[in-house]
Structure 1
Amino acid sequence: MAGAEELRQSKGQLVYVPVYSHIWHGNLDSKQKPQTLLLSSMLSIRNTDPQAGLTVRSVRYYDTSGKMVREFMPDPSSLGPMASTDVFVEHKDDAGGTGANFLVEWSAERPISEPIIETVNAYFFGPHSLAFTSPGRAITTGTK
């Protein structure tokens, strides 16, 4: 099959995913601070392999200083072929700060096509709306 050698496959990864639960905007105030806009964030984990499942080993949420805020998936969870799962950080949850992130660990019994792991960061109130995605990036491979 043409191009098959270019497909990225793995038996597992630890994936870093940026979360934008706060963003700075506007002008600086009298204390030289910008305005803060709180966003909700949905982490999406999508198994892209049509033949094989994967196991989500953990989903950990960290704050700006690198402290773990919470474990969203304390027990491994299986995702079948083409299946998806997600976790949600609500708009009013400001524990993560401007540098919040997820670490997602997944594994598979054999090399499979890499899942798509990203956040959708959103703000929808009244006539104002903002939404954007943040892709995950593998920081280690071959997890157990």
Structure 2
Amino acid sequence: MTPFNRSRTTLAATVFCLLLLPALCWSTEPKRSRGQTVYVPAYSHVFTGPRANPYNLAISLTVRNTDPSAGMTVTAIDYHDHNGRLIRRYAPSPLGLTPLASSYIHLEEKDTSGGFAPKFIVRWESPRPISAPVIEAVMIGATSGQGISFVSQGQVIQER
């Protein structure tokens, strides 16, 4: 093969990979699942100033069923401290969420039982594959006219 033919072959392969392969390999369909275990990082406080003073934050964990036609069941919401120790269970019995329904857990600013880096472990399931829920923690604090808020997205750590 001459150098000219080699570069034409390389060019054709590059065009194939850049233009055609994504259409074949990457679907625009949302990910569907029958259940997951989701890790959601949270912050009961952040450190401020030169002395690293703690600034307490309220935490709201939200579970949103994104599927418009099927329900899901939250089977566990466990709250762990910064060392990984279980602090409390928020779903002692399964919690059903109808299509597009949401549920939440709220911890007040004064609840620092989780330490500086608590986390939630949320487990959910469905009898058939559904669009994966949005599970996130919203942290907010306000003192003396100052406020802070931010969101932490859940990360899937296990598929059912």
Q: Same fold (TM over 0.5)?
A: yes
Match of residue 61, structure 1, among 76, 79, 102:
79
Report the 3-state secondary structure (helix = DSSP H, G, I; strand = E; otherwise coil) of the residue aligned with 2:109: coil
- 1:29-74 deviations in Å (ceiling 9; x for gaps): xxxxx21111000000000000000000010000011100000111
> Cα distance, 1:99 vs. partner?
1.4
How far apart, in 2, do the equivalents of 1:55 and 1:4 lie? 27
Report 1 or 2 for greater relative contact order, CA contacts < 8 Å, sequence distance ≥ 6. Answer: 1
Partner of 2:55: 37
How far apart, in 1, do the equivalents of 2:159 and 2:67 lie? 17
Hey, which bits of structure 1, 4+ residues long, moved more than 6 A?
A: none
**Which ranges in structure 2 are unaligned for 5 or more consecutive residues?**
1-22
Report the 3-state secondary structure (helix = DSSP H, G, I; strand = E; otherwise coil) of the residue aligned with 1:6: coil
Report the RMSD for the aligned CA atoms in angstroms. 1.5
Return the TM-score normalized by structure 2: 0.81
Partner of 2:14: none
Once the two structures are overlaid, the 10-residue window that deviates more, 119-128 or 42-51, is 119-128
The answer on 1:136 being equivalent to 2:159 is: no
Partner of 1:20: 43
Structure with the largest fraction of helix: 2
Structure with the largest fraction of strand: 1
Percent identity between matched residues is 40
Partner of 1:31: none
State the structure with more CA Rg. Answer: 2
Partner of 1:91: 109
Partner of 1:73: 91
**Which ranges in structure 1 are unaligned for 5 or more consecutive residues?**
29-33
The answer on 1:124 being equivalent to 2:147 is: no
How far apart, in 1, do the equivalents of 2:73 and 2:142 lie? 33
Report the 3-state secondary structure (helix = DSSP H, G, I; strand = E; otherwise coil) of the residue aligned with 2:121: strand
How far apart, in 2, do the equivalents of 1:8 and 1:126 lie? 44
Change (3 A) 1:49 1:4: farther
> Cα distance, 1:126 vs. partner?
3.3
